[in-house]
Amino acid sequence: MESGSADGTNMRDTILVTGGCGFIGSNFILQRMQADATSVVNLDKLTYAGNPRNLESIANNGRYEFVHGDIGDRTAVRQLLTRHEPRAIVHFAAESHVDRSIHGPDDFIRTNVDGTFALLEEARAYWSGFPEQDRQRFRFLHVSTDEVYGSLGPNDPPFRETTQYAPNSPYAASKAASDHLVRAYHHTYGLPTLTTNCSNNYGPFQFPEKLIPLMILHARDGKPLPVYGDGKNVRDWLYVEDHCEAIAAVLRNGRASETYNIGGWNEKPNIEIVETVCDLLDEMTPSGKDSRRSLITFVKDRPGHDRRYAMDGRKIERELGWKPKETFESGIRKTVRWYLEHEEWVRDVTSGGYRQWIAMHYSS
């Protein structure tokens, strides 16, 4: 290992990010590259959701390296850890779309459960070889979701870090399983882990199978806007850059073994989100015809659709001083504008596999 780092340990200022070509991972890497002098190694399998173009602007930066690979490939992970000697692993890589997990859960178990297990095993072996002072400083930060807590009734208090797990979809169950593994690796082996559970993100680079980008692009193109069930399911929405700052704060100052809930204090029913997107498009690109709201179409509900999520973010605010900066009004406006201004990115991701998915999923 190199010696003489600023914090007096032998560790390099490198972090290994998994899944950094996805929506949140790429926002996180772009933000970190601007914010400090950390070097980033990005391990990504480039599934349909991974897009290296998200990181085009830093592709030639000497502090950034992309490695195409699977978190489940233990030899590849071992070699990466040995070569780059990161001081932390920030683990985003996952299958992340609930509807896809309902159609085909296999990949969710493979990546989210088996993949996280493989990564933890390699992290443990790597970390076990450290001198004592470095062992305390290493961090394995696992990025997880509010969906592990299940569904709330209209008057239930928001999820806290102590809320009992009750995952309802194969996606949520696979994330819950990975959270439990992370917890066990701290409890049993002492691996310095951190877990963040976050609510729904929105913003640039989100793959347009998720509610907000899907609605923006369909509304732009005058296509039907498929709202599941009665449209009254509630999510708590957080602008992606706020989430990335929260992860950075947890990585910097979070207490090893702790979990932190991250939310936007911004609960909204889906129908309200869709109407807001319609109104913004009417304003930014007037169609001269009916309001885009006329495109709203209620469709068959998602099986097992969780009714409401809400996050209690008081712990991270109290302990780490983090709270969201962006309001929903400013964040959604920026997001709609971003999709309208990034036509080439949209064309790139909406080719091939994406079209097949839309055709299969919405055919009924």
Active-site positions read 146-147, 171
Closest separation between CB of residue 100 and ligand DAU, Å?
9
| 100 part of the interface to ligand DAU, by CB under 6 A | no
* Residue 47 binding partner per list ligand NAD, ligand DAU, none, with a CB distance cut-off of 5 to 8 Å that depends on partner kind: ligand NAD
Contact pick of 96, 163, 168, 259 for ligand NAD (by CB under 6 A): 96
Provide the β-strand partners of residue 146: none
241 binds, among ligand DAU, ligand NAD, none (CB under 5 to 8 A by kind): none
Q: Which is nearer to ligand DAU, 14 or 270 (CB)?
A: 270
142-177 residues labelled b (16+ CB within 10 A) or e (exposed): bbbbbbbbbbbeeeeebbebebeeebbbbbbbbbbb
Subset of residues 128 to 167 that bind ligand DAU, contact rule: CB under 6 A = 145-147
Tell me if 264 contacts ligand NAD by CB under 6 A: no
- Mapping DSSP to helix (H, G, I), strand (E, B) and coil, where does residue 1 land? coil
Nearer to ligand NAD, 45 or 292 (CB): 45
Contact assessment for residue 277 and residue 206, using Cβ atoms and an 8 Å cutoff: no
Q: Is residue 295 within 8 Å of residue 219, measured between CB atoms?
A: yes
Other Cβ atoms closer than 10 A to 35: 11
Q: What is the DSSP letter of 302?
A: P
Q: Which of 324, 270, 273 is nearest to 299 (CA)?
A: 270
> Per CB under 6 A, does 71 bind ligand NAD?
yes
Question: What residue 18 binds from ligand DAU, ligand NAD, none (CB within 5 to 8 A, per partner kind)?
Answer: ligand NAD
User: Cβ of residue 246: shortest distance to ligand NAD, in angstroms?
Assistant: 11
Among ligand NAD, ligand DAU, none, residue 207 binds (CB under 5-8 Å by kind): ligand NAD
67 forms beta bridges with 43
- Alpha-carbon distance of 163 to 328, in angstroms, equals 26
Q: Do 271 and 227 contact (CB within 8 A), yes or no? A: yes
175 binds ligand NAD (CB under 6 A): yes
Work out how close the CB of 271 gets to ligand NAD at its nearest, in angstroms, rounded to a whole number: 19
How far apart are CB 72 and ligand DAU at their closest, in Å?
A: 19
Place of tokens 């305390």: 136
Residue 233 engages ligand DAU in binding (rule: CB under 6 A): yes
Q: What angle separates helix 240-253 from helix 23-35, to the nearest 10 degrees? A: 60
We find the least distance from the C-beta atom of residue 348 to ligand DAU, in angstroms, to be 20
What tokens were used for 74? 């233990």
Instruction: Select from 32-40, 80-88, 93-101, 223-231 the region that touches ligand NAD (CB under 6 A).
Output: 93-101
* CA gap 303, 11 in Å, rounded: 47
Q: By CB under 6 A, tell whether 227 contacts ligand DAU.
A: yes
Between vectors from CA 249 to CA 151 and to CA 198, what angle results, nearest 5°? Answer: 15
Q: How far apart are CA 11 and CA 107, in angstroms?
A: 34
**Rounded distance between C-alpha atoms, residue 242 and residue 248, angstroms:** 10
> What is the radius of gyration, based on Cα positions, of the chain?
20
Write down the least CB distance from residue 146 to ligand NAD, Å.
Answer: 7
| Residue 296 binding ligand DAU, by CB under 6 A | no
Token duo for residue 305:
């659709």
Instruction: Work out which of 32, 220, 235, 308 binds ligand DAU, going by CB under 6 A.
Output: 235
Piece of 14-22, 252-260, 306-314, 348-356 that binds ligand NAD (CB under 6 A): 14-22
Residue 332 contacts ligand NAD per CB under 6 A:
no
Q: Cβ 231 to ligand DAU, closest distance in Å? A: 7
How far, in Å, are 18, 199, 202 from residue 205 at the CA level? 16, 17, 9
For residues 303 and 257, what is the distance between their CA atoms, to the nearest angstrom?
A: 34
The answer to whether the CB of 40 falls within 8 A of the CB of 34 is no
Residues that bind ligand NAD (CB under 6 A): 18-19, 21-25, 43-47, 49-50, 70-72, 92-94, 96, 111, 115, 143, 145, 175, 198, 200-201, 207
Give the binding site for ligand DAU (CB under 6 A).
Answer: 96-98, 145-147, 199-200, 210-211, 214, 226-228, 233, 235, 270, 302, 309
